[in-house]
Amino acid sequence: MTLVSKTFDLFGKTYVFEVGELAKQATGAALVKQGDSTVLTTVVVSKERKNYDFFPLTVDFNEKMYAAGRIPGGYLKREGRPSEKATLTARMIDRPIRPSFPDGFRNEVQVVATSLVADQKNPVDVICVMGASLAMTIGGVPFEGPLACVRIGRDKETGEFIVNPTYEERENSDLDLELAGTRDFISMVEAGAEEVSEEDMLAAMQFGQEAIGAFCDAQLEFVEEWERVNGPIVKREYPLDQPVEEVHDRIFAHYDEMAAALRDADKLSRQDKVAELMEAIKAEFTEEEQLVWEREIPVNLKKLEKTAMRRMVVETGERVDGRSAAEIRPIMVKGDYLPLVHGSGLFQRGQTQVLSVLSLGMLNEGQRLDTIEPVDGKRYMHHYNFPPYCTGETGRMGTPKRREIGHGNLAERALIPVLPDENEFPYAIRVVSEVMESNGSSSMASTCGSCLALMDGGVPIKRPVSGIAMGLIQEEGKTVVLSDIQGLEDFLGDMDFKVTGTEKGITALQMDNKATGLTFDILRTALEQAKEGRAYILDKMLEVVPGPREETRATAPKIQCITIPTENIRDVIGKGGETIRGIQDETGASIDIHEDGTVYVGGVGESVVAAIERIELIVKVPEVGEEYTGRVVSIQPFGAFVNLLPGKDGLLHISRVAQGRVKKVEDVLNVGDEVKVKVIEIDDRGKISLDRLEKPEAPAGAGRGEGEGRGERRERGDRPGRGARDTGARGFDRPARRERGDRPRRPGDNGGRAPRRHHEAE
């Protein structure tokens, strides 16, 4: 096998296909690059056919942290459980590949995509589909390809579509559309959008289909080069499950019975009737026949159910629960469903019921992301749970599966465009949607329930969001688009097309398509029908919850934002965090300080106000003329130091502690005393001088010196040309005294001082 590498440019980006050097023992392996971002995708097909009645395909995405030059977090310092993004990428690869394999393929297939380089400019996800397509093609695997996946963005300023935008280009885009398929049809769509119209979304999908075709042509050109260097690709032969006419005929003889069993609006009752009928049909086969046709019998029983359901829709226009094609199931909405929580909403449509619960927290409680993408975290989190009891079954309760992560991500993308900016609403937001009952469209019920919870919790969303799941039946040359599909129509239909949005436009979209005959005219019909359905559902929601509360609930934290000078951040934090911890412990509030001086303070009740007051006192700068009630923290021979604000002391000179002369400060003040003072001077070094308000009289005899009985001496501060003395301790300078040279001296002049008066001893 000789290495073949091909570089090409498409839509302003550079790509590389490379095969023949890495992972040569796999059935197929291909290296794909966009810029410097590099992914190795391998495909292995088992040699033996599995005894399954389904296609055993497994897809994994290995997110290697070394690709971004990072060391994994955690104690073990190695990659562990896949991140949410890795799981979504694996789903992105799986969904276009699965329907491309022929019916009856039962050999096990494993696709593994490994990120080798993440250049922090170009995402690695969409190019994985091309890698899988190339690997299967070079490996001779039978599938309907080539396949490609593209991401379509749209520049907010110019309105131009962008193919596989960089991270920087995505920041200026109002559309994030991923779609995959062949050059002839689309099989997978995922989208997040800022209220984009149906017309613009359809135009983006058409543009994306053209881009997919260009990447498929690039793969075909590479395959020609590969075969020129290495010879023709050997197509491997894999046995397929072949239909057995006898089994088909005997089972389909019960078509009318199956059609009758399906006509039941109650899901569990219908399932019981269908299961009972299938067991009765299976019992008509002998034990020997059941052993011989152990795969063919269950396959044809499923086919009978599928055919009966689909013919019912296209022939009579009636669905299994009696609805017409565009009819939506009965809706029940309840807001304010749970006490004490920060917000809640119950949404039910038919037999699908979801309870969504809101939790609000500080911004630093948002999710931190440890991935290879240049994204550190996210503020809004939506988690979707699908316990086994919601379908009346038993099962293992554990970590969320891929389906739960995918559905949660769809509801999350649906609501992100309408969330308030963090400057307006400085909260981390988490909504958990618990599926209580499920009969189709639980992800759309989660979107509606989450919107109700947000509004009930007082989150000022821009506009309310609703969602609906659309379906498609193509049978006997007829096409019917279904609104609000239930589980059976999803499983046995040709398309699952979920659309969310506001009255203004689409916010999220997801589609899985099995029909090769899906045209853009059909998509246009589905989008318009979905728009009508979304509006109907939204009206039902707003009848109960007209809009967001004016304020968050009393049980939710109140968060306020203030700004402090950056030079004061250290003062607020304190040595080893002592100051900020003290404020939090004493007030009960939570404090989050950012490097730019932004401070978020959150708590319940009066704790926020109390904490902000403490912070403002720390950063406040006293001004001349301001009055304070301070506490004496230190006494020196020349005066007392009074604490005015946290970390800020001023000097109350001994001459200003009382009316009259005081020999010792301790005669008037003690450490710990509270004293009312006024700021009279702040020098250029920030040193503060104080004067005492409401001075008491100096104690009797406080001014006497060692010679007890001397007459009263004039206070030095009262003498002409002299002011109160200051020793300059703690960096405080002595007040300037009059210089002797300020005026000419005459003989006998003593500098303006009064002559000493001598008193006789009593």
Q: In this predicted model, what pLDDT tens digit does every residue of 375-402 receive, in sequence order?
A: 889 999 999 999 999 999 999 888 899 9
Contact (Cβ atoms closer than 8 angstroms) between residue 658 and residue 696: yes
**For residue 41, is pLDDT > 60?**
yes
What pLDDT shows up at residue 732? 45
For the segment 276-290, what is each residue's pLDDT rounded down to a tens digit?
999 999 999 999 999
Q: List the Cα angle 597/599/604 in 5-degree steps.
A: 175
Q: List the Cα angle 404/407/412 in 5-degree steps.
A: 120
What pLDDT shows up at residue 119? 95
In CATH terms, the fold of domain 4-230 is Ribosomal Protein S5; domain 2 (3.30.230)
Q: 558-619 in CATH: which number?
A: 3.30.1370.10
Q: State the number of CA atoms in the 13 A half-sphere of 36 facing the CB.
A: 7
What pLDDT shows up at residue 736? 44
184 appears as a binding residue in the annotation: no
Residue 169 DSSP SS3: helix
What pLDDT shows up at residue 476? 80
What pLDDT shows up at residue 701? 64
What pLDDT shows up at residue 707? 40
pTM, to two decimals: 0.83
Per-residue pLDDT band at 746 (split at 50, 70, 90): very low
The conformational region for residue 675 under phi > 0 = left, psi -120 to 50 = alpha, else beta, is beta
Question: Distance between CA atoms of 721 and 739, rounded to whole angstroms?
Answer: 9
**For residue 744, is pLDDT > 70?**
no
**For residue 490, is pLDDT > 50?**
yes
Q: State the number of CA atoms in the 13 A half-sphere of 384 facing the CB.
A: 28
What stretches of 165-285 adopt beta strand conformation (E)?
173-181, 186-196
**For residue 453, is pLDDT > 70?**
yes
Name the residue among 641, 731, 704 with its Cα closest to residue 677: 641
What pLDDT shows up at residue 702? 56
Question: Distance between CA atoms of 143 and 141, rounded to whole angstroms?
Answer: 6
What pLDDT shows up at residue 719? 43
Q: Residue range 328-342: average pLDDT?
A: 96
Q: Which CATH architecture is the domain 627-699+721-735 placed in?
A: Beta Barrel (2.40)
Written as six digits, the tokens of 674 are 């509270």
Question: Distance between CA atoms of 418 and 424, rounded to whole angstroms?
Answer: 13
Amino acid letter for position 385:
N
Residue 113 DSSP SS3: strand
Per-residue pLDDT band at 369 (split at 50, 70, 90): confident
Per-residue pLDDT band at 145 (split at 50, 70, 90): confident
Burial of residue 538 (number of CB atoms within 10 Å: 0-12, 13-18, 19+): buried
Written as six digits, the tokens of 549 are 């509360």
249 appears as a binding residue in the annotation: no
Question: Distance between CA atoms of 135 and 24, rounded to whole angstroms?
Answer: 11
What pLDDT shows up at residue 174? 96
Domain residue extents for the chain? 4-230, 245-316, 331-544, 558-619, 627-699+721-735
Q: Residue range 405-420: average pLDDT?
A: 96
More confident residue, 623 or 63: 63
Q: 99-113, 216-230, 735-749 — which is least confidently predicted?
A: 735-749
**For residue 139, is pLDDT > 90?**
yes
Per-residue pLDDT band at 75 (split at 50, 70, 90): confident
User: Which residue carries 């927290």 as its tokens?
Assistant: 361
Q: Residue range 446-462: average pLDDT?
A: 97
Per-residue pLDDT band at 722 (split at 50, 70, 90): very low
Name the residue among 152, 156, 165 with its Cα closest to residue 191: 152
Written as six digits, the tokens of 32 are 């794909």
Q: Which helix (H) or strand (E) holds 750?
A: none
Written as six digits, the tokens of 531 are 């728009």
Q: 139-143, 177-181, 704-708 — which is least confidently predicted?
A: 704-708
Chain mean pLDDT for the chain: 89
DSSP letter (8 states) at residue 699: P
**For residue 13, is pLDDT > 50?**
yes
Residues near 392 by Cβ (< 8 Å), separated by ≥ 6? 268
In CATH terms, the fold of domain 331-544 is Ribosomal Protein S5; domain 2 (3.30.230)
**For residue 59, is pLDDT > 90?**
yes
For the segment 747-759, what is each residue's pLDDT rounded down to a tens digit?
444 444 444 444 4
Report the percentage of the chain scoring pLDDT > 70: 92
Q: 134-138, 190-194, 701-705, 706-710 — which is least confidently predicted?
A: 706-710
Q: Residue range 422-432: average pLDDT?
A: 94
Amino acid letter for position 715:
E
Tell how strand 4-10 and strand 648-653 pair up: unpaired
For the segment 499-550, what is each residue's pLDDT rounded down to a tens digit?
999 999 999 999 998 877 788 999 999 999 999 999 999 999 999 999 999 9
**For residue 704, is pLDDT > 70?**
no
What pLDDT shows up at residue 514? 84
More confident residue, 179 or 761: 179
Q: Residue range 13-24: average pLDDT?
A: 96
**For residue 618, is pLDDT > 90?**
no
Question: Distance between CA atoms of 480 and 494, rounded to whole angstroms?
Answer: 10
Query: Pseudo-torsion of CA 364, 368, 373, 378, nearest 10°?
Result: -50
Listed ranges 73-82, 312-321, 520-529; the one with the highest mean pLDDT: 520-529
Q: Residue range 559-573: average pLDDT?
A: 90
4-230 shares its CATH topology with 331-544: yes
Per-residue pLDDT band at 708 (split at 50, 70, 90): very low
